[in-house]
Amino acid sequence: MNYIDLHAHMVSRTTDDYHAMALTGCVAVTEPAFWAGYDRVSASAFADYFKHLTEFEPQRAAKYGIQHYTWLCLNPKEGEDRELAREVLAIIPQFLDQPTVLGIGEIGLNRVTRNELATFIDHVELALEHNQLIHIHTPHLEDKYKGTKAIVETLASNSRIDPSRVMVDHVEEHTIRMVLEHGFWAGLTLYPMTKVSPGRAIDMLEIYGTERLCVASACDWGPSQPLAIPNCMFEMRRRGHSNQWIHEVVYNNPCRFLSQCPKFKFASLEQPALVR
């Protein structure tokens, strides 16, 4: 069965991972801008990174029949430095017309500071100015509830935001309701230890239904699994869910959200794709 991984930091993965993902039915990935493992100190470092995301990764993925799309921003872990943020925000528009750029992301909060929130708001304004989709990171662990609440309240107070064009990622049991009730899309990221397991993600899909919910691997240089989605699909089958239900989550929903950007080439299907 075909699937789309809506959140994968392929820049930090090997080409072997593209191969394995292609073998398991991955047809497209979307890669939000990422923290490199250290705080970058100049806008030129981001310019190089955005060039990598928009030129090299699409070519590397295409060799395995996978469409690679991307989101651009200064990652929330680097949002504290307001001067750097202003410099990076100034160069983002020159990349927005690239054919694989879907929008602004993953913006959001990390330790929920005043500066992080100011940088988040600047990114949202940039997205509105350029009519871009938005992909949002919510903090991990003890900061998740507080950060998600701050993000949701900030967006809800802005009448120019169309929530159906916003994906709030990394939701968990204590934040999913507030995200869905405000009309946003919600992402369940399958990541060992600090995010959700396949079992818990499936629980939330059963409890809240599949509307406006997607799953993703969030794979990066940390202990993560590029094949997290097919593993979750296996768990869905093992729990007794139908191919149509699984297809809705792993293919149709990403298509529904992402096809709001005309650059995205896939469309949702009513029938399950061919089972591989």
Partner 1 sequence: MQIEGSCPRSQRELIELEFIEHRTKILDIAAFLDRFDRSVEHNANDDFRIKAFREALKALNSDEFGRVECIQMLLSDVSSELRAERDGQSAYGAAKESEQ
Q: Residues interacting with partner 1, by CB under 8 A?
A: 35, 77, 80, 110-117, 139-146, 149-150, 172-174, 177, 180-181, 199-200, 203, 206-209, 238-241
For partner 1, give the closer residue by CB, 117 or 219: 117
Kindly tell me which of 39 and 97 has the beta carbon lying closer to partner 1: 39
Shortest Å distance, C-beta 157 to partner 1: 14
Classify 239 as helix, strand or coil: coil
Q: Which residue lies nearer to partner 1 by CB, 3 or 120?
A: 120
For the bound state, the minimum distance from the C-beta of residue 19 to partner 1, rounded and expressed in Å, comes to 29
CB 168 within 8 A of CB 186: yes
- Comparison of 82 and 265: residue with beta carbon closer to partner 1: 82
Kindly tell me the sign of the dihedral angle through the C-alpha atoms of 94, 97, 99, 105: positive
Quote the least distance from Cβ 83 to partner 1, whole Å: 14
Spatial neighbors of 23 by CB under 8 A, at least 6 apart, are none
Asked if 203 and 183 touch (Cβ cutoff 8 Å), the reply is no
Query: Which residue lies nearer to partner 1 by CB, 19 or 238?
Result: 238
What minimum distance in Å lies between the beta carbon of 143 and partner 1? 5
Identity of the residue, 19 or 174, whose beta carbon is nearer to partner 1 in the bound complex: 174
Shortest Å distance, C-beta 115 to partner 1: 7
Helix (H) or strand (E) holding 108: strand 101-108
Tell me which residue of 37, 31, 21, 16 sits closest to 226, measured CA to CA.
21
Dihedral of alpha carbons 68, 186, 35, 75, sign: positive
Whether a cis peptide bond, with omega within 30° of 0, leads into 125 is: no
- Which amino acid is located at 190 in the chain? L
Burial class (CB in 10 A: 0-12, 13-18, 19+), 29: buried
Which strand (E) or helix (H) includes residue 70? strand 67-72
Cβ of residue 129: shortest distance to partner 1, in angstroms? 25
Q: Rounded to the nearest 10 degrees, how much is the dihedral formed by the CA atoms of 45, 48, 54, 56? A: -130
Kindly state the smallest distance separating residue 149's Cβ from partner 1, in Å. 7
Nearer to partner 1, 110 or 132 (CB): 110
Closest CA to 201 of 166, 165, 220, 225: 225
